[in-house]
Each structure stands twice: as C-alpha cells, then as structure tokens.
Amino acid sequence: MTDPVEANVSEIIPLDLALPSTGQLREVDADIFWLRMPLPFDLDHINLYLIKDGDGYAAIDTGIGTNTTELIWDQIFSEFNIRLSKIIVTHMHPDHIGMAGYLSERFKAPLYMTMSEYFVARAIVAGGRGASDWHDRDYLNKCGMSEEYINNAMSGRGGIGKVVRPIPLGFKRLNADSCISIGDYQWRIMIGRGHSPEHACLYCEDKKILISGDHVLPNISPNIGVYSTEPDANALNLYLQTLPQFKALPADTQVLPSHKLPFTGLHTRVDELIAHHQSHLATLLTHCATPKTVEQCLAVLFKRKLNPHNMFFAIAEGLAHLNYLYYEGKMSRELNSHSQWVFKAIV
C-alpha cells in the first residue's frame, strides 16, 4: 500500500508525455519505452520500461502474474516484433516479479536481481511448507488486532503464489554500485532498503535518467513495513538511510518510477518523502502520550477507511514507525496483559 503525499507542484514536474494506453509503448528517451500494466488494487497500474539492448530489449519489471498481464505482453511482442534479452526486476513484490518467470522462459533470457530480492521472492512463493502460523498470529496479536481479524487473516494466507509465475531457478546478481550494460549505455545499481530488502534502482549517468522502482515515487509514499517474519526490524531507518543518496544525483535527473508519472524534481521529492515520515513520527509521539497499541495508532496515520488488503500494509507501516521511535529511544514498548505491544512516548 502507498500513502498520498502532497507533492510540491512547482518543483515536482511530470514529464511532458502522454500516458501510454494498454499494450502501447511510449518513448521517454532514445530507445527507452514506457508501458503500463493493470493491477487489481486501489493502485491500479504499474509502469514497466523496455530499453533497447542490441537486437533485443531489456525489460525493467514485469507486471503481476495474471492472465491479463500475459495477454498484454503477448500482444506487445507480436505487434512490435520484440524479443527480450534481459529481465531485470527491481524487487520481489508481485507486481514487479510476477511475470519474470514467464518472460525469462519464453525468451530464455536471464533474470537480473539483487541477491536478497531473488531469494526472498523464492522463499515467499515457496510458502511455509506446513510450518506453524504461530509467528503470524503472535505478530497480529502484538499489534493489537482482534481475534476475529486474526482468524480471517490466517484463512486468507498464501495467495501470493497465485500472482507470481514460477521464478527461474537461476539468476544474475545485481550488486550495489556495479553497472549493467544495456545497449550502448551503462546503468549503475543503487540499493534502496525499507520498502523491500535490497531494492535495485538503475541510474544512467549519460542520460541522467533514474529508474526508481518503488523506492522513490511521485504523489504517493512507498509502503515501509515491518512484517511477521521480522517483527523487530527497523525498516523505516533503512529507508531513511537509503533515500539521501539520490540527492547526489543531478537535480534535473529524469525519474522513471513504477507508479504514477515520470517526473523531474528528484531532490525535492526525496525531501518531501523524508518530511512525510518525520510528520508521521511527530504525530505518533503526540498520540502516544498515553500508551497505544499499533492498531490504536492507525486512525491517526491513515485518514481513509482501510479494506483488508490495505489493513495488512497499514499495520506493517504503523509498526515500522513505532519501532523506529522505540529504537531512537523516544518511545517505550512493553507488553500489556493481553500480550499486545503498547507504545508510550518518553518525555
């Protein structure tokens, strides 16, 4: 889930490009094409990019693994006579990796990912293999969720495999600060953390173009979550540590994000995203003047009504902010008599 953040309209400027309709390619720079795939969520689309690579194309991200996405890809391949040479996936979320297996298999093209993203994707899709759901239940209970909510959430587990096609059993590793050649250009791998474990962003110095994935988005704030797998994680700290590096790129860098519109104004956007989280942290410190569970903090962080899909991410986002304050020494965290975490601001 993502969160709306008011963009500074005078400085965050969408590139002057018409939106590509479904199955169409929009050239955003010489030999770089933008396309959109539908998503069955509130956030109803993902941006993908194709970059000319010799006589083929490198795909950056792949769309969610549904028949709809497959049909659109097939239509693109036949209409534009395109062959893929590389499948590059920024991170392991299903809208990014979903069709990687299909595309890699179809063209016998290598899959490029960072190591953490590749293996976390493999692990999540492989599922729990019958391991107990105790950790998930304990996490949701500690976050203050009701027994009814927890039972419902447990019955809906394991859906991710349905929207991720079988992941190739081998990959090529993207390393921090290494470069990948695509056509005549070099793209440097910049790692973002917090939204996912080792998210790859790609920067082309010659073109001053950043493919930012979900790490830097316009209009919306990437979800920063702490989940049941590692409930003591400090994901927000990882995110805030890996955002400022993008201010070292030129101010007029063109940013090609995974959602919403390509834009310029990268430095301003980084500042806005940091300010957005700082404002959430300040809100929580005030709200937790008296002890609160994670669940009791959600209403002050998210003004809109949360459906079950969004609730899963909202809990994780709430805990990410509360854990951050706990590790900063600004919040205490104790278990109450119901084994729920209660957070209280330290004054």
* Binding-site member from 3, 53, 61, 214 for Zn ion (CB under 5 A): 214
* φ, ψ for residue 253, nearest 5 deg: -55, 135
Does 321 engage in binding with Zn ion (CB under 5 A)?
A: no
Judged by beta carbon, residue 93 or residue 277, the one nearer Zn ion is 93
Based on CB atoms, which residue is closest to Zn ion, 41 or 149?
Answer: 41
- Least separation in angstroms between CB 269 and Zn ion: 17
- Contact 103/87 with Cβ under 8 angstroms? yes
Binding Zn ion (rule: CB under 5 A), the pick from 36, 52, 86, 93 is: 93
With contacts defined by CB under 5 A, name the span among 10-18, 30-38, 42-50, 214-222 that binds Zn ion: 214-222
> Which range binds Zn ion by CB under 5 A, 3-11, 93-101, 169-177, 245-253?
93-101
**215 vs 269: CA distance, rounded Å:** 11
Residue 193 binds Zn ion, judged by CB under 5 A = no
| 215 part of the interface to Zn ion, by CB under 5 A | no
Site track 40-59 with Zn ion (rule: CB under 5 A), x = hit: --------------------
Could you give the 3-state DSSP secondary structure of residue 309?
A: helix
318 Cβ contact partners less than 8 Å away, ≥ 6 residues apart: 143, 294, 295, 297, 298, 301
Helix (H, G, I), strand (E, B) or coil at 28: strand
Quick check: 317 binds Zn ion (CB under 5 A)?
Answer: no
**Which range, of 86-94, 146-154, 165-173, 249-257, touches Zn ion by CB under 5 A?**
86-94
Query: Is 292 a binder of Zn ion (CB under 5 A)?
Result: no
Q: Which amino acid is at 123?
A: A
Task: List the one residue out of 13, 95, 29, 30 whose CA is nearest residue 60.
Answer: 95
Give 184-187's long-range contacts (Cβ < 8 A, gap of 24+): 185/51, 187/211
Rounded CA separation 161/154 (Å)? 16
Number of residues that bind Zn ion (CB under 5 A): 2
Identity of residue 335? L
| Packed helices 266-287 and 235-242: angle between N→C axes, nearest 10 degrees | 150
Least distance in Å: CB of 248 to Zn ion?
A: 23
Query: Cβ of residue 233: shortest distance to Zn ion, in angstroms?
Result: 16
Stretch of 38-46, 59-67, 87-95, 163-171 lying at the interface with Zn ion (CB under 5 A): 87-95
Nearer Cβ to Zn ion (117/214): 214
Q: Which is nearer to Zn ion, 52 or 93 (CB)?
A: 93
From CA 97, how far away is CA 166, in angstroms rounded?
10
DSSP assignment of 146-206: -HHHHHHHHHTTT-GGGGSPPPPS--EE--TT-EEEETTEEEEEEEE-SSSTTEEEEEETT
Shortest distance, position 37 Cβ to Zn ion, whole Å:
14
- Contact range with Zn ion by CB under 5 A, out of 56-64, 76-84, 148-156, 208-216: 208-216
- Residues near Zn ion (CB under 5 A) are 93, 214
